[in-house]
Structures are given as C-alpha cells and as structure tokens.
Structure 1
Amino acid sequence: MPPTIATSLKLPAELKAAIDEDARKQGLSSHAYMVRTLADASERARLREQFTQDALAAEQDMLATGMGHTLEDVRAYFAQMAEYRAGRAERPAPLVPRKLL
C-alpha cells in the first residue's frame, strides 16, 4: 500500500453532516467516504481530459484524411445498438468511415 499523507479539510457544518449521513448509508466511515469521493472525482477529471485529447486527435485525423461519420449515421447506429442491447434486434454492423470532406 502506498504511503499516506495527513491533511485536513475545514468543511461547512452542513456539508460535514451530509457526508456523515451518506457515509453511514453506505456503511463507510466519513473518512473512507471522503477519500473514495475525492479519488472518484480525480479519476473523472483524468478521464475527461483523456476524452478531450482523444476527441482533438480524432478531429485532426478527420481533417487530415477527410474520413468520418455523419451525425445521422452515428445516431442511427446508437439507436440500433440500443435495440440490440434490449434484445429486440441483431447487433448492428460496425460503422465504416467515409469521405466527408
């Protein structure tokens, strides 16, 4: 287990009470709840940044190659995928990029 570093937070009383209640409902100590919540928030921030970088790279690739998908094709694909996941349709064929530019 990696070493830990002590820190302190000054929380408004109402927030601390809400944290205590949420932690109790989840069977956690307030400390464990706050550590988990902060770790989750940090991971979401990293994932959001990676998503942004991936989107920018995909845009650059699309601009360089002219290949991509129309919004209508993507919406239709996701609608078909929802039907498939609900057990009401066959799995849709993968989208194939086409020249857009």
Structure 2
Amino acid sequence: MSIVTLDEVKEHLRYDSDDNDPNLSIYIKAAENAVLTYVTDTFENNEYPDVFKQSVLLMVGMFDTDREPNKESVITDNYLPAPVRALLYPYRTPTVI
C-alpha cells in the first residue's frame, strides 16, 4: 500500500499533464522508502499517520525541484531534510552507536 497516490502528488505539485508521471512514480517510491526506513515504529495494516503523507509529498517535491542535488540542496549527507525529520521524529526511536 502506498502512502500517497500519483494523483495526490500531481495535485500537490500542481501538475496538469501526465508527461512527468514516470519520474513522479520513481520519486514516490524513493520518498516512501526513505520515510519508512527512517521511522522505527510499526503500524497495523500499513495505516500511517497523516504526517507520513505530508513527509512523502515534501520529499517528492524536493526530488522534483532538486533533480541534481548540489551543496545548496536541502537533500544532503544521507539525511532526510530537516522538515521531514521534524514531522517523523515522534515515530523514531533513536539508536546509540
């Protein structure tokens, strides 16, 4: 079960055509994977809190805007962007190394 649909992403990004659907589908998978890898809590029947949807939408928007990240990008250093981490932090149990 996906956290967001392609139609939700297109509405969020204000896309009117289907031209970018293949890229958006890849971005959705990558964003959902990043979000679900970051959190440590588990959910029955994959029913995620609404902040998961917002987190994925933010990530997809960032992937779409920053197609080739550079040092000014918000996506750096193998970490989720700060706004996404802030939304997901309550669903993560920090680990000690």
Between Structure 1 and Structure 2, which shows a larger proportion of helix residues? 1
Relative to the length of structure 1, the TM-score reads 0.26
Relative to the length of structure 2, the TM-score reads 0.27
Q: Which has the larger radius of gyration?
A: 1
Higher relative contact order (CA 8 A, sep 6+): 2
